[in-house]
Chains A and B, each alone.
Chain A
Amino acid sequence: MGAGHGHRLHYHGHSVVHRAPAQCKIIALVLFVLAVVATPRTEYWAYGVDAVALAVVIAVSQVPPLYIAKRMVVEIPFVVFAVLLPFIAVGERTQFLGMTVSQHGLEAGLSLLCKITLGVIAALLLASTTEPRDIIAGLEGKLPRQIVQIMAMMVRYLDVTSDQLRRMRIARESRGFVASDPRHWPVLAQSAGAFFVRSYERGERVHLAMLSRGYTGSLPGLTTTEAVPRHWAGAMLLPALAAAAASSAWWLR
């Protein structure tokens, strides 16, 4: 039983967006999200500009829009909150779709919805065009080393441990066990315990293997794609446009 191939977020491709160094894309994402968040809340045309720009980048990346749309379910809890806002907020009342709602809450809800959606789409675009290991390598120098190392280990062993968890579940089910009601929870708890111990032991073995190769507490750098000014210029197009939209929205208000 080999490890699974590919990741659920990454969409394999060779577009310009895929090839761009991860560090450029990460910085571009952070700046884009900052620009979107800084957009004045009722200037909806600015969100439109951001959305069109993002759509162009998605088209260039050749990631199918449906692929991204399906993965937007992570947004749902925030959408629920945004939808609730007009009803729970206080202040001046207004009519919206035949209901009396809070004017302030309605504006806040709508802009929240726009900002979250743009942010989530941009983040998904990064995840679909960048392998997890490259994202981590790209974070090097931007986050404390220890955190980057822990994340690198996590990405490496996520497949190994989830595969182990899957094998344990299959082995349980092969013996006629399917967890369906709380009486089965003790078995699941036992499994979780065994899984924890095994993962811990693996951690120990990994550490021994590292010591055997002379590990003294610091990991060497990860190999990354060198980012040249051309890469940075390309990556900054999207956040620059979003920043321009946000600042002109403030100006025209």
Chain B
Amino acid sequence: MTAGTPSTVPVLQVSGLAYAYPDGHQALYGVDLSLARGERVSLLGPNGAGKTTLVLHLNGILEAGEGSVEVSGVRVTKQTIADVRRQVGLVFQDPDDQLFMPKVADDVAFGLANMGIKGSELTDRVQHALEQVGMAEFADRPPHHLSYGQRRRVAVATVLAMEPEILVLDEPSSNLDPASRRELADIVLSLDITVLMVTHDLPYALELCPRSVVLSDGAIVADGATGDILADEDLMRAHRLELPFGFDPRAIPHPA
């Protein structure tokens, strides 16, 4: 915990957030969500529940129709957006959407350069971020020559370099082979940072996130310990959540 920051201020506070797309489709109906510093929380829900819409509000890409989003006590508005985007690091599902520069190092430097960081501090932070995800030796490679798992790790580094308060991961385990999936889990566990992880991979949520939130039809329908939520068969069935065959969350000891 950073000295001087009162522990009572949540790092993320979403209150009464409602949003309708311009075509009239209402995606969120009054979402309330609060994340304390250092928490790892998974955001679960079926396809079309509004998870991505919610995530895009967290750094002001979408503007709240009603309600508010506060990051470390600062409300997300047009005036605060630059600072909010530094504090909320969004890692998109498809690394090809995130990595667009000719070299891995350029891509990691992109967010930093937008923050006005230059020179040796820039190269140091790029190097450090790549080390955090174990990709330092790939700095000069073009992203499209890397494997999918490596690209996902670089995508995480592009955001880590900006030293955000919250890391938001959209489907981090999708399309990864089991080894890459585990490597990414190790990276996430090694970070001292607040994490919000959108996922359909329920065992992954149980492994990484002590707390889970279920979003269904644009509203939060459950918020609690991941193990309890996954073990609640009625809740799971009502919101189209299914565990992999043979997976029993009760048989697994709660992660630390």
Give min CB distance, A198 to chain B, whole Å.
12
A155-B102, A156-B102, A160-B96 in contact; A212/B144 too (CB < 8 A)? no
A2-B147, A202-B97 in contact; A214/B109 too (CB < 8 A)? no
CB–CB A157/B114 < 8 A: no
Residue of A2, A5, A216 contacting most chain B CB atoms (<10 Å): A2
Instruction: Enumerate A152-208 residues with CB–CB distance to B below 8 Å.
Output: 152-153, 155-157, 159-160, 202, 205-206, 208
Interface size on B, residues (CB 8 A): 36
CB–CB B101/A222 < 8 A: yes
A209-B90, A216-B114, A220-B113 in contact; A2/B148 too (CB < 8 A)? yes
Contacts of B61 in A (CB 8 A): 208, 211-212
A202, B97: Cα distance in complex, Å? 7
Q: Confirm or deny: B106 has a beta carbon within 8 angstroms of a beta carbon on chain A.
A: yes
CB–CB B144/A215 < 8 A: no
Instruction: Enumerate B146-200 residues with CB–CB distance to A below 8 Å.
Output: 147-148, 158-159, 162
A152-B101, A156-B100, A156-B101 in contact; A205/B143 too (CB < 8 A)? no
Contacts of A231 in B (CB 8 A): none
A3-B144, A133-B142, A157-B100 in contact; A214/B111 too (CB < 8 A)? yes
Q: Confirm or deny: A210 has a beta carbon within 8 angstroms of a beta carbon on chain B.
A: yes
A210, B147: Cα distance in complex, Å? 22
Q: Which of B98, B105, B162 contacts A209 (CB 8 A)?
A: B98
Contacts of A253 in B (CB 8 A): none
Contacts of A157 in B (CB 8 A): 96, 100
Give min CB distance, B86 to chain A, whole Å.
6
A156-B144, A220-B113 in contact; A213/B158 too (CB < 8 A)? yes
Contacts of A220 in B (CB 8 A): 106, 109-110, 113-114
Q: Confirm or deny: B85 has a beta carbon within 8 angstroms of a beta carbon on chain A.
A: yes
Q: Confirm or deny: B56 has a beta carbon within 8 angstroms of a beta carbon on chain A.
A: yes
Q: Confirm or deny: A121 has a beta carbon within 8 angstroms of a beta carbon on chain B.
A: no
CB–CB A214/B98 < 8 A: no
Instruction: Enumerate A110-164 residues with CB–CB distance to B below 8 Å.
Output: 131-133, 136-137, 152-153, 155-157, 159-160
Interface flags for B127-144 (1: CB within 8 Å of A; 0: not) read 000000000000000111
Interface flags for B77-89 (1: CB within 8 Å of A; 0: not) read 0000010011011
Contacts of B42 in A (CB 8 A): none
Q: Which of A133, A160, A202, A212 contacts B103 (CB 8 A)?
A: A133
A133-B142, A202-B97 in contact; A212/B102 too (CB < 8 A)? no
CB–CB A133/B114 < 8 A: no
A2-B147, A3-B145, A206-B97 in contact; A213/B111 too (CB < 8 A)? yes
Please, which residue of chain B has its CB at the minimum distance from the CB of A3?
A: B144
Give min CB distance, B240 to chain A, whole Å.
25
Contacts of A153 in B (CB 8 A): 100
A220, B102: Cα distance in complex, Å? 12
Contacts of B158 in A (CB 8 A): 213
A156-B144, A223-B103 in contact; A209/B97 too (CB < 8 A)? yes
Contacts of A208 in B (CB 8 A): 56, 61, 92, 97
Q: Confirm or deny: B115 has a beta carbon within 8 angstroms of a beta carbon on chain A.
A: yes
Give min CB distance, B171 to chain A, whole Å.
13
A133-B103, A222-B102, A222-B106 in contact; A212/B148 too (CB < 8 A)? no
Q: Which of B105, B110, B148 contacts A213 (CB 8 A)?
A: B110
Interface flags for B56-76 (1: CB within 8 Å of A; 0: not) read 100101000000000000000
Contacts of B228 in A (CB 8 A): none
CB–CB A209/B102 < 8 A: no
Contacts of A136 in B (CB 8 A): 102
A86, B222: Cα distance in complex, Å? 83
User: Which residues of B are interface residues toward A (Cβ below 8 A)?
Assistant: 56, 59, 61, 82, 85-86, 88-90, 92, 94, 96-103, 105-106, 109-111, 113-115, 142-145, 147-148, 158-159, 162
User: Which residues of A are interface residues toward B (Cβ below 8 A)?
Assistant: 2-3, 5, 131-133, 136-137, 152-153, 155-157, 159-160, 202, 205-206, 208-216, 219-220, 222-223
Closest 9 CB pairs of A and B: A220-B113, A133-B102, A213-B111, A214-B114, A205-B97, A212-B90, A3-B144, A209-B98, A159-B144
